[in-house]
Chain A
Amino acid sequence: MDSPGDKWVGQSLPRFEDAALLTGRGRYFDDCGAPPGTLHAAILRSPHGHALIEAIDTAAARALPGVAAVLTGEDIRTSTTSLVVGVKAPMECWPIAVERVRYVGEPVVLVVATDRYVAEDALDLIEVRYTPLPAVTDPVVALTPEAPVLHDGLKGNLASERRFRYGDPEAAFASAAHRIAIDVTYPRSACTPIECYGVLADYDPGEDSYDVFANFQGPFSIHAVIARALRVPGNRLRLRTPPDSGGSFGVKQGVFPYIVLMAAAARACGRPVKWVEDRLEHLAASSVATNRVTRLEAAVTADGIITALDWDQLEDCGAHLRAPEPATLYRMHGNMTGAYAVRNVAIRNRVVLTNKAPTGLNRGFGGPQVYFALERLVQRIALTLGLDPLDVIRRNLVPTSAMPYRTASGALLDSGDYATAMETALREGRHDELLRRRDAARAEGRPYGIGYTAVVEPSVSNMGYITAVLTPAERKRAGPKNGAQATATIQCDAVGSVSVHVASVPQGQGHRTVLAQVVADELGLRPQDIRVVTDIDTAKDAWSIASGNYASRFAPAVAGVARIAAQQLRTRLQRIAAPLLNVPPDDVVLAHGKLHARGNADNALPFARVASSPHWAPGTLPAEDSAPLRETAWWTPPELTAPTEADEVNSSLCHGFIFDFCGVEVDRVTGQVRVDRYVTMHDCGTVLHPGMVAGQVTGGFAHALGAALYEAHSYAPDGSFQTGTFADYLVPTVMEVPAPLILHHESPSPFTPLGAKGVGEGNCMSTPVCIANAVADALGLHDVSLPLLPATLARHLHGAEPGAPAVAPPQGERTLRGEGEARVAAPREKVWAMLLDPEALMAIIPGAHAIQRTSPTAYRAEVTLGIGPVKGRYRVTLSLADLDEPSALTLSGSAAGALGFGQGRGQVTLREADGSTVIAYHYEAAVGGKVASIAGRLLDGATRVIIGQFFAALARQAAPRQPWWQRLLHRLGLHA
């Protein structure tokens, strides 16, 4: 690789990052070592969706050798301040539970010890007494008056409500030929980077300052949030990031509450504290996308033109409104009309809190939720009016002639030729052939469907968009917020070699390679001559609140500002070289590692000599150029203005366009969806590196396919979390992800230095609904919800089950039910007496250690319960009621331990049958906590086993002398 044909930008160079990453020399958070004496943290987390913390007994944990500190919410509260909340509402947001837990996985106690193993040993020794409270996980239910309230200051669970109106929606609806509406829910999913969070924090009491190393991804507006929580000015919070990151997709913004926790712990211990999140912690409590309930109604003309949209969005942010939420709801505010020219829009936005993990940044941020409603609606319009869905899309697209186009709600769509891109996709993606494929499949009785979507992909967020959650008056009081500052620094050292530094914190997107290409083009160098540093140190580097790796801002903003910095540097180099070459500065050309006179390549100086000259001979240079070459450029687009009085918001600088279509087949027997063909057309402006753009598209597509078919962050109605492992939270593998056909249509952005727009998030917005539309088409479904579970689809295919049980338990219900019988070779009275005798019970309850009678009909015991290798110790209470001697009673019990908690009731009847007693029981039990999160698949059976064990033991105990044949069978391992 030497001289570029034309330019380096635009070529798919091999990445400079790769050699290290492929040889095991990456420097991810946990590869970077820690200072001697560093302690390791582990976190005890809530097993309950909602409960009061009555007492925390940490004595045994503190006494464990190796444990340095045990910190509770109370301890953290005294040394920090609550995290700021983004809406005007009377509530606090602590990084650890204070007085009350509000979601499964919420931190409750932090242990700091010599190593992680010991820290986890200490967690086992902590006893927390909770009083469970009713939980609410459904956002609609959370708004009802009966719902439990999460934050007392709020009165209800509504954290924010705003209405917006653009154009004249009422008139448009009044005069519309059709009103067509759709109700959808969008589930929670998360991008789950393969590397989890990591934080290493230290505190210097002499200077009252914190030094934090964490795989945080930005935005660095959060730096201010952390510093405030730690009660120090920003210059006393040094935040550094490692050179490599194992993926983020937005998620590693959510590490910041843990930065506060670990910093506070370091202060408490007087030593550095390190914490590496594990996968169970990550799945339960890192950062998950919001779930949303949307009703969207359109006013439509007879030929399918949408004249108005009426949005009603209910956003579920989980248990706390954590910065920057409710940004998910507002990120798309300017482009709520998608790719369509709709002038009249009404919006109601509500934010609700529920007993689920707090939400945060995730790839697509707000887009999947919006487009699922909008593009399902477009399909509904086509069906209702008997139109081809493609025609409905065509008739509503923003026309090319209108670019740049100001949407009704204030976004300025920068560029694009949507119609051409769409027709090109249909042609090159062989749409006509796909239609034939569908016909052929259907002719054979195979359910096959086609789905379409057109979306606008925003990138480079306006730092002011989130203030749309405030009223114009509130905004005025708070002061305007806007822009998207980007910065890059380029310097030449004493031998004239070039280094670039940006505050972009890449998470695998190859920023170093692309920046080297951009800068090489400006300076006439080769990319391999340029060293790029992308990790950040807030104490030394140029950064702003907008710095970081989010909102697809790298190519449009960061690469762009790097070019500006390179141009500034070039200008200085030209000025220095001009007198030496005897030409005006403008006639100094930078190429092939030299500076030469225009038109005379022999009149040249080596780049290194000119670039190093201010280091060696400043006295020979004019004063203005005597400083070493170091240029820091700043760039913020003027288009990103603050929201207006009328609530118009230009929420993002760039708007790419995506048109997708796909063919899917649903298996007639299993209900499994197979994506047969997927075509995705992107207009992301100028493509800087085709290989990386393709990588962003295929990667985003895989995330989206996961969201459409497999992934869901699930809670039971009682607040139990059900997807705590990678065996339950199903990330698609190579077997599930087909390769999409990627097409491009380039309309450079007039607003970015390189003409580039973001591209990494679009498929997360377009693909879930495209697949949903295709499945709806295949099965003729009116409503679809994600993920598209085979069991649900199979119901449509199989019809009613022959001889189905009369009452099927409602789906998602978590009560475990069962029944059984045990036969005891003893009279009823004896069995009865045993149930009322603590000593006898002690013998019956498998693994009981200490049983106490707390009242004539209540007991307390320590019990080891388990099945197979799974064993745990529980505190059990049992009580007897409805005593009907000697034939019936009700047994209620609860158990709590490190593996979780359970509650149940059983009706027991004793019946005489030729000399022996038949104990019949049926029970209902609810189990939560760790076992429910990580072994949900096995819970029902496990409960059955444990309850069965109890009665089997009762039977054995009541009849200690078994008949010989039973003993024999037992010895042969054939006990019934």
Chain B
Amino acid sequence: MPRLSAAQRHTIRFTLNGQPVQGEAEPRLLLTDFLRHVLGATGTHVGCEHGVCGACTVQIDGSPARACLTLAVQVEGSDIRTVEALAPAPGRLSILQEAFRRHHALQCGFCTAGILMSLDAFLRAQPDADEAALRDLLSGHLCRCTGYAPIIAAALDAAARLRETAHA
């Protein structure tokens, strides 16, 4: 790859939620800003820009990762999924999203997108995850509203339902 100059914007291409997308970015542009302000995908939130809060978590090639600790140029050619991809159809919610609604696992909802992206990837890889494993995963997210208990309840409920649908 040629050297990308700091002073210019460069075309970045990747797959976002199954669709090819492209946009212009300086090398220093964070993936969070690229998603939100270049592509207009504002479902991914920003809470700290130093990797701790988890609000910006997206899936990069299937794994949950911090968009605030990723440069847009780094994901050239990658497969990115964000919260906008989770619902099966407009007006419908996924099993995981439904569980969050049922258990009141969100209040302000600002942390929620990141949490959903972590859980979505994790439950796909480890459908039998127990509470300890879910807590360990979710320790990478700060939520200031819920006190976490309903989030754990929703995650366990979603895991059980996902297992059922997988067996059905």
Of the listed stretches A13-21, A905-913, A945-953, chain B binds A13-21
Given A702-B148, A727-B50, A734-B139: A245 in contact with B101 (beta carbons within 8 A): no
The distance from the CB of A892 to the nearest CB of chain B, in whole angstroms, is 34
Name B87's contact: one of A23, A196, A244 (CB within 8 Å). A23
Closest-by-CB residue of A relative to B137 is A734
Q: Is the CB of A733 within 8 A of B150?
A: no
Is B111 part of the contact surface with A, judged by Cβ < 8 Å?
Answer: yes
Is B45 part of the contact surface with A, judged by Cβ < 8 Å?
Answer: yes
Of the listed stretches B72-80, B102-110, B122-130, B160-168, chain A binds B102-110
Is A25 part of the contact surface with B, judged by Cβ < 8 Å?
Answer: yes
Residues of chain A within 8 A (CB-CB) of B113 are 24
Q: Is the CB of A508 within 8 A of B108?
A: yes
Number of cross-chain contacts by CB at 8 Å: 171
The distance from the CB of A699 to the nearest CB of chain B, in whole angstroms, is 5
Is A86 part of the contact surface with B, judged by Cβ < 8 Å?
Answer: no
Q: What separation, in Å, do the CA atoms of A244 and B101 have in the docked complex?
A: 17
Select the residue from B52, B91, B140 with max chain A CB neighbours within 10 A.
B52
The distance from the CB of B68 to the nearest CB of chain A, in whole angstroms, is 10
Q: What separation, in Å, do the CA atoms of A18 and B105 have in the docked complex?
A: 10
Name B109's contact: one of A18, A249, A701, A737 (CB within 8 Å). A18
Q: Is the CB of A249 within 8 A of B144?
A: yes
Binary contact track A625-647/B, C-beta < 8 Å → 1, others 0: 00000000000000000000000
The distance from the CB of A394 to the nearest CB of chain B, in whole angstroms, is 29
Q: Is the CB of A737 within 8 A of B144?
A: no
Q: Is the CB of A194 within 8 A of B108?
A: yes
For window 90-117 of B, CB contacts with A under 8 Å fall at: 91, 93, 97, 100-102, 104, 106-113, 116
How many chain A residues touch B (CB < 8 A): the figure is 53
The distance from the CB of B26 to the nearest CB of chain A, in whole angstroms, is 7
Is B12 part of the contact surface with A, judged by Cβ < 8 Å?
Answer: no
Is B71 part of the contact surface with A, judged by Cβ < 8 Å?
Answer: no
Given A30-B42, A698-B150, A726-B50: A509 in contact with B144 (beta carbons within 8 A): no
Given A22-B93, A691-B104, A726-B53: A698 in contact with B149 (beta carbons within 8 A): yes
Is B24 part of the contact surface with A, judged by Cβ < 8 Å?
Answer: no
Q: Is the CB of B42 within 8 A of A246?
A: no
Binary contact track A272-306/B, C-beta < 8 Å → 1, others 0: 00000011000000000000000000000000000
Q: What separation, in Å, do the CA atoms of A246 and B91 have in the docked complex?
A: 23
Q: Is the CB of B108 within 8 A of A195?
A: yes
Given A24-B41, A117-B26: A193 in contact with B144 (beta carbons within 8 A): yes
Q: What separation, in Å, do the CA atoms of A196 and B49 have in the docked complex?
A: 11
Name A194's contact: one of B29, B43, B45, B102 (CB within 8 Å). B45
Q: Is the CB of B109 within 8 A of A244?
A: yes
Q: What separation, in Å, do the CA atoms of A26 and B55 have in the docked complex?
A: 14
Is A192 part of the contact surface with B, judged by Cβ < 8 Å?
Answer: yes
Given A22-B101, A193-B144: A699 in contact with B107 (beta carbons within 8 A): yes
Closest-by-CB residue of B relative to A248 is B108
Is A695 part of the contact surface with B, judged by Cβ < 8 Å?
Answer: yes
Is B66 part of the contact surface with A, judged by Cβ < 8 Å?
Answer: no
Binary contact track A198-226/B, C-beta < 8 Å → 1, others 0: 00000000000000000000000000000
Q: Is the CB of A22 within 8 A of B97?
A: yes
Q: What separation, in Å, do the CA atoms of A726 and B107 have in the docked complex?
A: 21
Closest-by-CB residue of B relative to A251 is B144
Q: What separation, in Å, do the CA atoms of A960 and B11 have in the docked complex?
A: 49
Closest-by-CB residue of A relative to B108 is A508
Is B21 part of the contact surface with A, judged by Cβ < 8 Å?
Answer: no
Binary contact track A30-68/B, C-beta < 8 Å → 1, others 0: 110000000000000000000000000000000000000
Q: Is the CB of A194 within 8 A of B110?
A: yes
Q: What separation, in Å, do the CA atoms of A737 and B107 have in the docked complex?
A: 17
Q: Is the CB of A19 within 8 A of B93?
A: yes
